[in-house]
Amino acid sequence: SGQWHIPDGGLDPLGLSGPRLRKPIVAAVQGICLTIGIELLLATDVRVAATTTRFGQIEIKRGIYPVGGATLRFQRECGWANAMRWLLTGDEFDAAEALRIGLVQEVVDAATVLDRATALADVIAAQAPLGVYATLASARLALPATEEDAARRLMPDLQPLLASDDMQEGLRAFVARRPGAFTGK
């Protein structure tokens, strides 16, 4: 179908199709956060990372591109050049860089990352719910309408990449733990 399958009555955790959760989402992240992990973070509202977290949007190293929302949101959240630095190289970066570019709002010790995210969620939950919902809805309405158009193109634009020699090479390189030798075919 060229789309992620969302069960009837379900919500797309990436926020790419269907209704969005009207409540704010606070995320905690630690360990290794690659590809769809970053895209899930970009679909949340406030993010806290452990100091030891490693990030990487590595699809480009495999001959494909991110289809979970990174091409829609990374540049909006972190600025064009910051997003392109990581989207176009596939390099890994650390929590300090994630904080510097605005991917996360706080960096704390791994032992306290979940507690800190929960504490922020508690502060938000203590506010007037109607005001919180209205703030989130208004902020989402201010997002460019072209994000929805671009979201509809993600999977169709991925299809030719999945059939490419470069994607096959990307998979072989991943398994062999080596850089890909891409040909553009």
Question: What pLDDT was estimated at residue 96?
Answer: 98
Give the three-state DSSP class for 152: helix
| Euclidean distance between the first and the last CA atom of the chain, given in angstroms as a whole number | 24
Question: What pLDDT was estimated at residue 2?
Answer: 52
Distance of alpha carbon 120 from the chain centroid: 20
pLDDT, one tens digit per residue, over 91-131 is 999 999 999 999 999 999 999 999 999 999 999 999 999 99
Lowest mean pLDDT among 2-6, 16-20, 34-38, 116-120: 2-6
pTM of the model: 0.85
Provide the β-strand partners of residue 27.
Answer: 47
- Has 97 been annotated as catalytic? no
Give the three-state DSSP class for 18: coil
- Judged against a pLDDT cut of 90, whether residue 46 lies above it is answered with yes
**What mean pLDDT is predicted for residues 47-60?**
98
Confidence of residue 3 (pLDDT cuts 50, 70, 90): low
Question: What pLDDT was estimated at residue 73?
Answer: 94
Q: Which amino acid is at 18?
A: G
* Contact by Cβ (8 Å): 52, 110: yes
Question: What pLDDT was estimated at residue 132?
Answer: 95
- Has 147 been annotated as catalytic? no
How far apart CA 169 and CA 60 sit, in angstroms, is 12
Which member of 39, 92, 148, 169 is catalytic? 39
Backbone angles phi, psi at 75, to 5 degrees: -70, -35
- The token pair at 177 is 């733990």
Provide the β-strand partners of residue 49.
Answer: 29, 107
